[in-house]
A and B are shown apart, each in its own frame.
Chain A
Amino acid sequence: MIGPRSRRVVLPLAVFVGLVLAWEAAVTVLHVQPIVLPPPSGVALTMARTAGPIAFHAWHTLLTTLLGFVAAVGLGLLLGFAIGGSATVNDALYPLLVGFNSIPKAAVVPLLVMWFGIGTAPAVLTAFLLAFFPVAVNVAVGLATLEAELRDVLRSLGASRWQIFRKVGVPRTMPLFFASLKVAVSSAFVGSVISETVASNAGIGYLMAVAASDFNTRLAFGGLAVLGAMGVLLYGIFAVIERRMTAWAYAE
Chain B
Amino acid sequence: MTAGGLTEALAGVSLEVPRGSTVAFVGPSGCGKSTLLKLISGLLNATAGAITVDGQPVDGPLTNVGMAFQNPVLLPWRSVLDNVLLPLEILRENGDPRAPAPDLWRARAVALLATVGLSGAERRQPRELSGGMRQRVSLCRALIHQPALLLLDEPFAALDAFTREEMWELYQRLRAEREFTGVLVTHDLREAIFLADAIYVLASHPGRIAHAHRVALPRPRALAQVYGAEGSELMRRLREQIRPSREPAA
Contact = CB atoms under 8 A, between A and B. Distances in A.
Nearest to A166: B93
A147 B77 contact: no
Contacts of A249: 76-77
Given A147-B71, A149-B69, A248-B76, A154 B43 contact: no
A157 B90 contact: yes
Contact of B87 (A157, A174, A252): A157
B96 interface: yes
B77 A156 contact: no
Contact of B127 (A152, A168, A246, A248): A248
A172 interface: yes
B127 A153 contact: no
Contact of A154 (B90, B96, B125, B151): B90
B43 A156 contact: yes
Contact of B62 (A156, A159, A168): A156
A18 to B, nearest CB: 40
A156 to B, nearest CB: 5
Nearest to B149: A156
B73 A149 contact: yes
Interface residues of B, number: 31
B90 A163 contact: yes
B141 A153 contact: yes
A20 interface: no
B43 A157 contact: no
A155 B61 contact: yes
Interface string A161-203: 0010001100110100000000000000000000000000000
B90 A156 contact: no
Given A158-B61, A159-B90, A152 B76 contact: no
B90 A152 contact: no
A150 interface: yes
A2 interface: no
B41 A171 contact: no
A156 B61 contact: yes
B223 interface: no
A251 B94 contact: no
B90 A158 contact: yes
B94 A152 contact: no
A152 B145 contact: no
Contacts of A171: 75, 77
Contacts of A156: 41-43, 61-63, 65-67, 151
A179 to B, nearest CB: 15
A251 B76 contact: yes
- Pairs A-B, 5 closest by C-beta atoms: A251-B127, A158-B63, A149-B69, A150-B73, A248-B77
12 contacts: A149-B73, A153-B67, A153-B73, A156-B61, A156-B66, A156-B151, A157-B63, A157-B87, A157-B91, A159-B90, A171-B75, A248-B127
Given A150-B73, A157-B65, A168-B75, 10 more contacts: A152-B38, A152-B67, A156-B63, A156-B65, A157-B91, A159-B90, A159-B94, A171-B75, A172-B76, A249-B77
Interface of B: 38, 41-43, 61-63, 65-67, 69, 71, 73, 75-77, 86-87, 89-91, 93-94, 96, 125, 127, 141-142, 145, 151, 153
